[in-house]
With several copies, the nearest count.
Chain A
């Protein structure tokens, strides 16, 4: 009995949990709770509240004050109670119903805990397995085809490597002829003639060379604008 008395409020989910514990400990009939006894024991437990956060403490204190209220009503002479329109027995009944309902959910929680335990023992695979869409075509023969085709190509053809350089002086000559013919050309158009980035760079260098030689002038509205190459000839 002393073990059961030594309770810590923080071990309980809330005041209803503590109340059920007290009823169980005193071997009381939940349908016929001696309010006075329970109220006193409950208040005693709440007095021990120390290291408990305010919000949880508030729930316990609220229950304690309700129990004290209920206890005082129970002590009223029946005559006065009737005059004041209070039926202590009905309040006690509602209180019991509330405890019984809570007791039901508390038991369901225990049942859920069991179900959790057993359900977790059935292991599942969280990720689904995907099927490769290319399943049918990805057989080893596809590899063989890729490889041996490459090998055959290598045997049949002698690859000629084209030297990939652009001669600046040739480009200068080409552009000079172009400017003589067209008189003025926007840089954009030259860019569109160039077949690669490298060629575009060489075009730009060629234009600079022609400016230096005073063959052309360059006109530009403002920074980063497109510019016009104008032939001086």
Chain B
């Protein structure tokens, strides 16, 4: 096996965390790199070792197979709390309408979203991405890579568009 592929696996193993494609671009030949990484991940996953390489947010991450979850969670399950309904709803609005102010989120949801936004900031799922150029210059919120990672998404296009949703609804 060539050295680049081994280094890719070894890096993901040591890191444990998400490793961005930018990182690999710095240590490997950047030409056509993304296709090679996709191949490496697929080759690894086909071995079916109980460990998997998943493509998520802006990079790759080594994780265990979901089928093993029940066996492993007893020993290694140290997850944070699941998101509440109001946090999920707020996150959904911000994901589609970012950058967005708190008041604009409130308007869509019909309720005050301050508490949900605070929790989402604490969990690092959203961050402040500037201020809106209107009176009062309110803060604008955007989603983070941690948000994509947490939900196992590569980018926002993993979520259905409004049109797709309408068609689905019939």
Whether the complex brings A and B within 8 Å at their CB atoms is answered yes
Which of A's residues lie within 8 Å of B, judged by CB? Answer: 13-17, 55-56, 59, 63, 101-102, 104-113, 115-116, 118-136, 138-148, 150-151, 154, 159
Classify the secondary structure of A's interface with B: helix
Contact residues in B for A105 (Cβ distance below 8 Å): 89, 92-93, 96, 108-109
B57-84 interface (Cβ within 8 A of A)? 61-66, 68-69, 72-73, 76-79, 81-83
A53 nearest CB across to chain B (Å): 11
Contact B95 A143 (CB under 8 A): yes
Chain B: CB-nearest residue to A17: B110
The tally of residues in B whose CB lies under 8 Å from a CB in A reads 51
Contact residues in A for B64 (Cβ distance below 8 Å): 122-124, 131
* Contact segment of B23-31, B35-43, B147-155: B147-155
Contacts A59-B111, A111-B159, A144-B160 known; A130 to B168 CB distance under 8 Å? no
Contact residues in A for B91 (Cβ distance below 8 Å): 109, 112, 143, 146
Contact residues in A for B138 (Cβ distance below 8 Å): none
Contact B93 A126 (CB under 8 A): no
Which of A16, A129, A146, A148 has a CB less than 8 Å from the CB of B88?
A146
Which of A109, A133, A145 has a CB less than 8 Å from the CB of B165?
A145
A160 nearest CB across to chain B (Å): 12
Contact residues in B for A142 (Cβ distance below 8 Å): 88, 151
Contact residues in A for B83 (Cβ distance below 8 Å): 112-113, 116, 134, 138
- B46 sits at the interface (CB 8 A): no
Contact B78 A131 (CB under 8 A): yes
Contact B14 A133 (CB under 8 A): no
Contact A123 B109 (CB under 8 A): no
Contact A143 B14 (CB under 8 A): no
Contact residues in A for B72 (Cβ distance below 8 Å): 123, 131
Contacts A115-B153, A131-B14, A135-B69 known; A55 to B112 CB distance under 8 Å? yes
- B133 sits at the interface (CB 8 A): no
Contact B76 A111 (CB under 8 A): no
